[in-house]
Structure 1
Amino acid sequence: MKNTSLVTAAVAAALSTALAVATPALAQQPRVLKVQTAVPPASTTQDALKFLAERVDKITGGQLKIDALAGGAVVPPFEILDGAAKKVLDGAYGISYWWYGKSPTATLFSNTPAGIFGMDAIDFIGWVYEGGGLELWNEFYQKELKLNLVAFPSIPPSPQALGWFKRPIKDLADFRGMKCRQTGIVSQLYAKMGMAVVNMPGGEILPAAERGTIDCAEWVGGVEDLRLGLHTVWKYHYTPGMHESASVAEFAINKDVWDSLPPHHQEAIKSANSETFLRWWAKFQKQNADAIDEFTTKHGVHLLTAPPEINQAFLKTWDEFAAAEAAKNPFFKKVYESQRAYAAKVVPAKRFMFPPYNVQADHYFPPKKQ
């Protein structure tokens, strides 16, 4: 009996020790957030979300993880914002001009179109963090649209090309009447300029081009267009475009989810977003350079400069649209005037302080004749 009691006591002690070790381990199971994009798995935007997830994982020591889901994984691609607001998803990784149908003000939080008041991506980030933009962004989602979200700026997928064309274009007259794939507010602006716009998701562009049902298309440019395969149908590629000269994407997370995170996990997400902005941007530029080289050396693409008349007409059309929208939409006006005030200081000063890119570029790498 004595030996049996000793054995029983030893087993009980062992079980007690095991439970003491196991309980903290169970309590520290990592939290996983479901975040979805609206793009295919092969997109560089999906690459960015994966990088963001990796950084959050490492910064938190594995205690917070992001399940980086591609377009359509849980909800249809362009339902990610509502999915996050309703907690079907924990977060949405996209760009705010996609929500133009909810309110034209949405486009302003993507610095689109035309790089608002000439701001490049860094200027825009400055407005977000130093000019009150982040507060306006969250006021827009939470109070204007009544969406239970918290948003932050993410990657800068620009500058984007004017597009791909089945034939050369030399001026605005050539541009008019062409049936071209465009989306969102850009489609409205180009329609005002005389283009016959067709709205379709990215996955439908190449088949439409192959069938000849569209004459031209805007997607992104560089590596994204190479992956989509537009060069296999059309050989005239024009840059730059003003419609997305300096766009910035967003990371939107359900507000209840955000509020439930401990402060150090919130800071991890903020820091990972900032790092993703910089690291992805640098990689994106190199990928685009490689793609541009491949277009010409392997696929016979004509890389051409967009007729200035087209971009000038676009800027004028946007200014007219924005002025009209500000006159009837108080919140649009509030955001637009905030951006104007910030840009009025930063853009002229930057133009004065920064040497034109072409000065050194032309010295070391003179432009080739087209």
Structure 2
Amino acid sequence: MFKLKYIAAGVTALALTASAAMAEKVLRIQSVLPSTADEVFMLNEFGKDVADLTGGSLTIEVLPAGAVVGPRDIMDAVDAGLVEGGFAWTHYWGGKHVAANLFGAPVAGAGVGMDNIAFLSWFQYGGGKELYDRLWGEMGVNVKGFMLQPVGPEALGWFPKPIESMDDFRQMRFRAPPGMVGAAYAEIGVPAVAMGGGDILPALEKGTIDAAEWCCPKPDSVFGFQKVLKHYYLQGLHQVVVNADMYVNLDFYNGLTDLEKKALEVAANASLSKSMSYRIYENGKALKDLTDNHGVILEDTPADYFTEYMAAAKKSLQAAADENAFFAEVWQSQKDFADIAVPFWAGAQASNASLGKAHADSLK
């Protein structure tokens, strides 16, 4: 009996030691955003799913912007193992490889009308995931990527007065995203200025810029653009699809168990749906608050914006394809997918979009 007690105690101690070792496996993810952002809220939801699926053997700790390195240095930090993971938008790394733009923010829906739902169809069943997995090797970084949060379409932006045509738009210094999206604005003569989200409101208040875009009603209102500008345009082409993703140091990832790797995959797939659902409702509530309580006026985007911007976007896409073989391969995959899926998806949505617009108009 005495021996049995010692054996039982030893087994318990070993179990506790093993459990403690498992619990020490922490994936620290530094975000490019502050902890109050909706994206970080959904990233924490992803972390809860991972912990539940692994029984706590893998936990995720979300670090706010600047905790270890600056936002633009996150990929290098993950690559070097300074932090186990990072979180941003894929197109942030377009300077490392131009094809990152096609995964993070394919300008004007890749020029073929892909919205955020169609993008997910391409990504999950049209060959996009396989190309995404190749991106990191093409980029030359030691990471494993996980697409987590599709957003879109993003609003055209905020203006100090109504714009009746592109001629009006061209008179304004406009905060636009960097990369291909901003380059397309420059191509059509809009003085586009790239800057971080936290810098936009001070720039508007100082008159450094006249108009701006960031994302959508919820995050825009958090930054407080409605304090300075009152004319808001929802319809835009620049970022019909925007995707945020997570990067895990490949050595850390390879050290995970098969179950933990599968948990990351399953939780990432769940996040694609959960984040889209969350953002639609949150943006709807924010838009209602902006128009009901802050004097924001919804405007219709001038027709010539769509023709001019689409032409510039296609020119930019073709130029990148001519210069980079992997970009050309990814874009061709998106175009091949769109040839099959977009006629159905765009046609099927047309009547419901019209009905929804009529309902929205009836609420004014």
- TM-score in terms of structure 1 length: 0.92
Q: 2:317 corresponds to which residue?
A: 322
Distance 1:102 1:217 in 2: 26
Q: Which residue of 1 aligns with 2:343?
A: 348
Secondary structure in structure 2 of the residue aligned to 1:154 = strand
CA distance in 1, matches of 2:205, 2:192: 17
Q: Is the 8 A contact 2:115 2:153 kept in 1?
A: no
Kept after mapping to 2: 8 A contact 1:111/1:124:
no
Q: How does 1:17-36 map onto structure 2 within 5 Å? A: 17-29=8-20, 30=23, 31-36=25-30
Distance 1:18 1:84, change over 3 A: same
Shift of 1:276: 1.6
Give the corresponding residue for 1:4.
Answer: none
Distance 2:359 2:292 in 1: 21
Secondary structure of the residue that 1:195 maps to in structure 2? Answer: coil
1:87 aligns with 2:78: no
| Aligned-pair CA distance for 1:352 | 3.7
Q: Which moved more, 1:102-111 or 1:47-56?
A: 102-111
Question: Matches of 1:367 and 1:310 in 2, distance apart?
Answer: 26
8 Å CA contact retained: 1:100, 1:184: no
Percent of aligned positions that are identical: 31
Aligned equivalent of 1:357, options 335, 352, 355: 352
In 2: Cα distance, 1:130 partner to 1:362 partner: 30
Matches within 5 A, 1:1-370: 17-29=8-20, 30=23, 31-116=25-110, 117-142=112-137, 144-185=138-179, 186-362=181-357, 364-367=359-362
More displaced stretch, 12-21 vs 29-38: 12-21
What is the CA distance between 1:67 and its match in structure 2? 0.5
Q: Name stretches of at least 5 consecutive residues in structure 1 with no aligned partner.
A: 1-8
Instruction: Find the aligned partners of 2:162 and 2:291 in 1 and give their Cα distance.
Output: 16
Comparing 78-87 with 293-302, greater Cα deviation is found at 78-87
1: CA distance, partners of 2:360 / 2:165: 27
Which whole-Å deviations, capped at 9, do the CAs of 1:133-163 have from their partners, x for residues lacking one? 2221222211x21111111221112111111
200-209 or 304-313, which deviates more:
304-313
Structure 1 CA distance for aligned equivalents of residues 357 and 114 of structure 2: 24
Report the aligned-residue RMSD. Answer: 1.9
Counting matched residue pairs gives 359
How far apart are residue 215 of structure 1 and its match?
A: 0.2
Change (3 A) 1:354 1:216: closer
Instruction: Give the Å deviation of 1:98.
Output: 0.8
Kept in 1, the 8 Å contact 2:116–2:153? The answer is no
Mapped contact 1:177–1:194 kept (Cα < 8 A): no
1:57–1:66 Cα contact (<8 Å) kept? yes
Q: CA deviation at 1:297?
A: 1.3
8 Å CA contact retained: 2:29, 2:83: yes
- 8 Å CA contact 1:115–1:247 kept in 2: the answer is no
Contact kept in structure 2, 1:160 and 1:241, CA below 8 Å: yes
The alpha-carbon distance between structure 1 residues 197 and 360, as it changes in their structure 2 partners (threshold 3 A), is closer
Deviations 1:249-307 (A, max 9, x none): 22221222222211111111111112122122112111111111111111111111211
| Structure number with bigger Rg | 1
> Letter of the aligned partner of 1:220 in structure 2?
C
Preserved CA contact (<8 Å) 2:90 2:105: no
Distance change (3 Å), C-alpha of 1:64 and 1:162: same
Mapped to 2, the partners of 1:354 and 1:195 lie a distance apart of 31
For residues 120 and 105 of structure 2, what CA distance do their matches in structure 1 show?
9
Deviates more, 1:189-198 or 1:356-365: 356-365
The superposition leaves residues 70-96 of structure 1 with CA deviations (integer Å, 9 ceiling, x where unpaired) of 211111112222211211121222211
364 and 216 in structure 1: CA distance in 2 versus 1, 3 angstrom threshold: closer
Cα contact 1:166–1:216 (8 A) shared by 2: yes
Question: What residue identity is the alignment partner of 1:248?
Answer: N
Write the letter of the residue equivalent to 1:57: A
1:308: Cα distance to partner? 2.1
